[in-house]
Amino acid sequence: MRLDVITLFPDYLAPLELSLIGKARREGLVDLVVHDLRDHTHDRHRTVDDTPLGGGAGMVMKPEPWAEAFAAVRDRGQEGLGADVEPLIVFPNPAGTPFVQATAQEWSHCEWIVFACGRYEGIDERVYEHLADAGYEIALASLGDYVLNGGEVAVLAMTEAVVRLVPGVVGNAESLVEESHSDGMLEYPLYTRPAAWHDPVGVVREAPGILLSGDHGRIAAWRREQSVLRTGRRRPDLLGPADGDGAPD
């Protein structure tokens, strides 16, 4: 998988050198390149923003640096991947469609994703029109209903969610099957040794006995039940709309 990130703050993406993603990069499973948008300006002040046409607060990102950056990133990527390969261009944006586990699953099959990190109030709308007319596939994706200062933190989150699903990146593929959201529900509670833990205030906390029973069928059933209970308590929205008639189930 090839990933490009276009940003005004390349240092923000430094954590992508670490841990699982860093290892995937060193092993050649992921080729990730970070680009400074300011390298695609040509004035003395390296200007990337201007005041909004029509007035209003804040600043808007100018279209020219973006168009030049996309062309450069596309040319460089196609040198490696072939001229027939086109990227998915992702704009992290609080006004986008929600980025969920299914999005991560879908994107984990992409050969090439370009993340374009906006800052300030946003990017001139004509950039999106230009890219769509040029035949690019574009996605606006949001992490959730709150506002970050820019797309960089969202790219860190999206990249981690996507890259860990790329085959070979997570050593034990089975651990991807049982985790929260993989089946639309929250994960069951986990325990390890000691089976009876004396906590710091002297309370003896026993792990559920069924986990020591060796009965894998009953353990699986207990875990499913715990998943449903936990999802109902914490995230009832994931269990689908309530029928609302008040009658017993």
Cα 65 to Cα 12, 77, 133, 135, distances in angstroms? 20, 18, 18, 19
Q: How far apart are CA 233 and CA 125, in angstroms?
A: 41
Tell me how far, at minimum, the Cβ of 168 lies from ligand 6GU, in Å.
27
Closest CA to 89 of 138, 127, 43: 138
143 is in an annotated binding site: yes
- Least spacing, CB of residue 82 vs ligand 6GU, in Å: 30
Q: Is 133 assigned to a binding site?
A: no
Distance of CA 153 to the CA centre of its chain: 10
Residue identified by tokens 């996309």 is 70
Per CB under 6 A, residues contacting ligand 6GU are 92-94, 141-144, 146-148, 150-151, 154
Query: Does the annotation flag 148 for ligand binding?
Result: yes
Please tell me whether 171 is known to bind a ligand.
no
Nearest approach, Cβ of residue 156 and ligand 6GU (Å): 11
Interatomic CA distance for residues 3 and 203, integer angstroms: 49
Asked whether residue 147 is marked as a ligand-binding residue, the answer is yes
Rounded least distance, CB 123 to ligand 6GU, Å = 11
Shortest distance (Å) from residue 144 CB to ligand 6GU:
5
Q: How far apart are CA 156 and CA 48, in angstroms?
A: 22
Which residue, 11 or 146, is less far from ligand 6GU as judged by CB?
Answer: 146
Q: Is 145 annotated to bind ligand?
A: yes
Closest CA to 154 of 140, 168, 165: 140
**Cα atoms in the Cβ-side hemisphere of radius 13 Å centred on 196:** 3
Cβ 86 vs Cβ 131: under 8 Å: no
Least distance (Å) from ligand 6GU to the CB of residue 232? 26
Distance, in Å, from the CA atom of 131 to the CA atom of 134, rounded to the nearest integer, reads 5
Would you say 77 or 151 has its CB closer to ligand 6GU?
Answer: 151
Distance CA 5, CA 197 (A): 46
144 marked ligand binding residue: yes
Q: In the 3-class helix/strand/coil scheme, how is 103-118 assigned residue by residue? A: HHHHHCCCCEEEEECC
Q: Which residue's CB is nearer to ligand 6GU, number 146 or number 203? A: 146
Q: Which is nearer to ligand 6GU, 141 or 169 (CB)?
A: 141
57 or 147: whose CB is closer to ligand 6GU?
147
> What three-state secondary structure class fits 60?
strand
Residue number, 77 or 92, with CB nearest to ligand 6GU:
92
Residue list, annotated binding site: 118, 143-148
Residue list, annotated binding site for S-adenosyl-L-methionine: 118, 143-148
